[in-house]
Amino acid sequence: MKVLVVGSGGREHALVWKISQSPLVDEIYCAGGNAGIEEIAQVIPIDPLDIRTLTEFSKNEGIDFAVVGPEAPLVNGIADEFEKVGIPLFGPSRQASRLEGSKAFAKKFMERHGIPTADFEVFNEFDRAVRYVKNVGAPVVVKADGLASGKGAVVCRTLDDAIRALEAFMIRGVFGESGKRVVIEEFLTGEEASYIVMANGEKYIPLPSSQDHKRLLDGDRGPNTGGMGAYSPTPFVTPDVEERIRREVIEPTLRGLMEDGIHFKGFLYAGLMLTSEGPKVLEFNVRLGDPEAQPILMRLRGDFLSALLEFYKGGIPHLEVDERWAVDVVIASKGYPERPEKGKEIKGLDRVRDLEAVAVFHAGTVRKEGRVYTAGGRVLNVCALGRDLREAKDKAYSAVELIEFEGMHYRRDIGDRALRMTG
């Protein structure tokens, strides 16, 4: 069969890598692509947001199944357009994708359906937002309502921080229309965790738990990014905690969507804060996380495409999970996330190609005349499996040290909070 993966980052490289292992695949295409993806798929030069052209290509090429990586095409209705022409696509509709496309919509949905989340208010006017933060005080979290590539949430420790964030979003327009409306939230404390399920109506299959590292610098300092690394599983999601997540978050969310007349089909990602009162939702995403997808897909055994197809058609496939741990370290460009440098030659990729239980997933890369260069903020994901978290981390960082390009930056503490817990 012919399969299309939409997107050009590390998550999409991991999806292509995993799906391409299926004996069902005759040809695999990727819209967007990068230097790593082009080694295992036919990259088609169509922008992932050019939904009309993607739909026409898929119809003309006879695509049998499509999987979407990034959120923007989903929010813009790619699933709806593919459905119109009869091409199965694993991803939620435009209406369902509002869970990620609008923070205000998601918060009001959670409030309406009794899903635990931080207290919040929504503002369209800068002056009213400022009066509110002056009244409630700091710390608070200021979020852009729309899509912001994972960078639209600012933890404001002081009142001045909150006002600066509001100015950046609502006055200077650093995220364009996405930041003209903001959500101001209560600041929650606890451990963060990512809990992702494959959902089809009220049916769902949990994927392995994971924990992302959003801040740029070690010790969770610096600005928020799209994610600087992740590992799976996370010891903070114990069996008891997972049971609460499923009962208090996932199941009422899927039930609430159905009650609102929305059939969700795709990956549902709950970004959680594990507070002393229980799990609370920080955000919903409507796709696999990036970089969480990379360690999760490393741990999944068997034919993932077959499982996706069976689940899409209404079945409940069994997902076999490797008992080993996986750690993913993101290597970024100098200047990321604000102004990443590009065009730096990457060396050492051949040294890690044949390492056992190690995979390098490309994100912002491009190939020119046989050489690979940086082409974005997050450049590479170095992912490794180990018998425990320590071994997985050591293998990942040993591989990272074999790679070099000018200005490369990465965190050195991926998984350390879990290591302090597990020993």
CATH architecture of 119-186: 2-Layer Sandwich (3.30)
pLDDT at 224: 87
Low-confidence ranges of the chain (pLDDT < 50): none
Q: Are 365 and 419 in contact (CB under 8 A)?
A: no
Topology of the domain covering 2-91:
Rossmann fold (3.40.50)
CB distance 137 to 186 below 8 Å: no
Residues 6+ apart with CB under 8 A from 112: 256
pLDDT of residue 423: 62
Q: Say which DSSP state 358 is in.
A: E
Domains 2-91 and 119-186 share a fold: no
CATH superfamily label, 325-422 = Phosphoribosylglycinamide synthetase, C-terminal domain (3.90.600.10)
**Predicted model pTM:** 0.96
Evaluate whether 137 touches 155 at the Cβ level (below 8 Å). Answer: no
Closest CA to 372 of 13, 7, 35: 35
Just give the CATH number of 191-321. 3.30.470.20
Query: Cα(first)–Cα(last) distance of the chain, in Å?
Result: 46
Could you state, in order of their start, the residue ranges of all structural domains in the chain? 2-91, 119-186, 191-321, 325-422
